[in-house]
Amino acid sequence: MFTKETIPDFVLAGLYPNSLVIIDGDKPAQRNLDDKGSDLPIPNKENVVIAANPLDKKFWLGDNAQNITLLVHDEENIYISDHNLDFLGKILAACQFNLADVAVVNIARTPISLEELQSRLSPKYLIFFNCKQSHIGQKDDLKLYQPDRRNGCTFLLASSLTKMNDGSAEAKQEKQRFWISLKQMFGIA
């Protein structure tokens, strides 16, 4: 047997914090649970505002405390898979950083230009995992695992986190090359 219960407004608001459509006007009246109709106004051009730019909200994972931007290309996850996030956490810890120090941006979900990244995140370091400079509107001229300083930002092109974390002998070599470049980039002894 099912019972009809209402969800409190604050719970419902918590489930949908980033609404894409905002309906202007008065709050709809409480409706009777037995009522089959809807009291919500029907959206039309006059009472609907569509969010102008998806970049108006936070589009990255982490707090960006050290202005380190990590670009990933992951079509299956909002930011990054749990497996890769765990591996990334270990890499960051080895460099004396944590997730609060970085901004992880999934460019498969949030296409963005270098100018927008610089404006929103002010990266001092920009690391590309499994993506190219052309994904942010730049010429693809970085060499794998060779840090390159340009306009106050150090760029680094790296293999995918998945490739570095698959347990193979090739993955071990990729991790070693990546670690050497990180030591050079962050001045780790």
Domains in the chain, CATH or no CATH each: 68-186 (3.40.470.10)
- In the numeric block, the tokens 């942010």 are attached to 136
User: Would you state the pLDDT for residue 50?
Assistant: 45
User: Would you state the pLDDT for residue 21?
Assistant: 52
What CA–CA distance (Å, rounded) separates 68 from 55? 18
Q: What is the pTM of this model?
A: 0.71
pLDDT digits (tens, 9 = 90+) for 123-173: 999 999 989 899 999 998 999 999 999 989 999 999 999 999 999 999 999
pLDDT digits (tens, 9 = 90+) for 19-55: 545 555 545 444 454 544 445 555 554 544 444 455 6
Closest CA to 163 of 48, 84, 99: 84
